[in-house]
Amino acid sequence: MLPFVVPAQQLMDEGPDKPLFDLFFLDVRNCGWWGPMAFVTHDGGLSWQSICAHVDNPNGLQLYGISQTGTDVFMAGEQGTLLRSSDTCQTFEALTPPF
């Protein structure tokens, strides 16, 4: 694990003060949420898994929003972070923003 990524258990132990910036639903069973970390569910929210290891975000920047255009899903975050998934949110690759 990269040293800047805080384990999910530590975030839970610190209490409910972590922001939830955006939710994204592919369908009623598949959803993700983004904020300090990125999580997905494939069972309608009964369980959640971190996908931080599959998100090209080496500096651990905040992820603020997510949206789908065609078959691609895009995430945007601080300092111009722009990520794209072309595999139904399994992985996100960094893009160079247009500014």
For residue 81, what pLDDT is reported? 92
What are the CA-CA distances from residue 67 to residues 4, 6, 19, 84, 90 (Å)?
26, 25, 18, 10, 15
End-to-end CA gap in the chain: 31
Give the model confidence (pLDDT) of 15-65 as tens digits: 777 677 888 888 888 878 777 678 888 888 888 888 888 899 888 888 899
Which CA distances in Å does 29 have to 16, 22, 69, 93? 24, 17, 20, 24
Cα four-point dihedral sign 34, 63, 37, 95: positive
Residue 2 binned pLDDT confidence (cut-offs 50, 70, 90): very low
pTM of this structure: 0.75
Domains and CATH numbers, the chain: 19-93 (2.110.10.10)
Q: What is the pLDDT of residue 3?
A: 39
Residue 93 scores a pLDDT above 70: yes
